[in-house]
Structure 1
Amino acid sequence: MKQSDIESYPIVLTAIEISEILKISKPTAYELMNRHDFPLIKIGRCKRVLRDEFFLWLSNR
């Protein structure tokens, strides 16, 4: 994915956006977000991830 494509996403990603990026279902995105090595940010019950940390995490897979 090109840097310009990555920067087109919001700075903070939701499970819906992760599911769109990875072409997986929303429940599968939530499963992924529950992994211990995932760069998750919890705000109350909301789960989010910083865009740049997500793509860095993804590139190390």
Structure 2
Amino acid sequence: MNGNEFPMMLTANDLQAMGFRRAMVYKILNSADVPVVKIGNRKFIQRDKFFKWLDSKEVQTDAET
């Protein structure tokens, strides 16, 4: 998934459209290790940085080793 079908700046609604539940979206947006851009009261994530962050969260399972 490269995410090019999503806008350059992702909103909470965009993350929900990807399949994340609302509670998880706000947990992500409020996490200290996520590169969030805050404009007023709204939070955005640059698309490319979000997918890079998401890739960094991938965990190897015993079946994959």
The alpha carbon displacement at 1:37 in A equals 0.1
> What 5-or-longer segments of structure 1 have no aligned partner?
none
Distance 1:29 1:60 in 2: 17
After TM superposition, the score normalised by the length of structure 2 is 0.78
- The two structures have a TM-score, normalised by structure 1, of 0.83
Flag as ranges the 4+ runs of structure 1 deviating above 3 A: none
- Residue 24 of structure 2: SS of its match in structure 1? helix
Between Structure 1 and Structure 2, which shows a larger proportion of helix residues? 1
In the alignment, which of 40, 46, 50 is matched to residue 50 of structure 1? 46
Query: Pairwise CA RMSD of aligned residues?
Result: 1.1
Which residue identity lines up with residue 31 of structure 1 in the other structure? K
Q: Is 2:30 aligned against 1:34? A: yes
